[in-house]
Structure 1
């Protein structure tokens, strides 16, 4: 009888533990869903404010909501109706006492500046980050700088960063850096320079990847060299396999 009681107590404790774990897991899931919905609602409220040109005080009131964090700000910047409204949001955030920028928010801002071609402001932001103005934000990599300047269509800045990067290396830079320069040269109509970049890639021992072939194929199609494009596509597919 004593052993059966021990068994009953043990079974009860096991069942109770399983139920507790299940309840705890369910609670965590509900909390995550609740947080997601709060963030989504706040992001949408910020976006609507930016689109509606409401008074700054109204936007400040929304930004002072406790659930505001770098995730919300990053996505609010990305969903801003224009580059100007995104910059307005950044300026307004200066009035929010407890908010500090993170790497995500600053990278989101950099991409907006790049896409809108605001190179001067982009350079100022990069300098501010790399001189330590923002706490706990990592130094901007050469690749990120190249991508942003390429997005802005600034070939001189892209090649300038590329040359600066190369001087710090013992060997060639990554393949993607060649791709960025080559693609931008093609977009600028400087096809001879794009060919030189590709030749340089091969000579320096960097291995072309699928994006390299995509850039070249697009270049060939631009000049209506369909047969050459198909031939290169098949060769690239065979190489990848």
Structure 2
């Protein structure tokens, strides 16, 4: 006879991972808060950067939990490329915030499709909304599904935030500049597609082809807006500090 843990099919193990991720995120947030009360600017900057990388590590672990097994090599390649680019390209060649942001954005777009996503709603993996849950709960299911679907762009955006924060001593590496470039890169295709859909609203395939793509664009824009707001908050926090 199967035990109660076996019948849950890994639910308990996933819940343990959730607790571990929350612990990592809590540690990162705690370091961020501690950096605000430190008298030394150098120590404060170092602790703040460490807190951001801890939060990023928690997000990576959560994404690894949600990904299917065949997508884990994609995640590993994503992290490897980020490390190589940061150590041997962006730091060595002294790219500014705009150039670094453009590369992060397009790498995020590439990994969105490397995950197996497309412009078809049928490629959305809704099963990740049940990871670690005994039954369907709407809010966590929506959050987990969105996180899994847009994990590629989100991971690259988080890496951009951590990288720019660690390079603040260099001219032209401000978070505000990166946020502006990131928002501009997302708004151009979004505006173009809204105009296209409006002009083709009577097309035969408006519901089967154009509408799903519009939903993807809208969700991507919403996530980008949240990322840019966080970038702006971080930049204002830095400016307010003496």
* Common topology (TM > 0.5): no
Based on CA coordinates, which of the two structures has the bigger radius of gyration?
Answer: 1
TM-score using structure 2 length: 0.28
Greater RCO structure (CA 8 Å; 6+ sep): 2
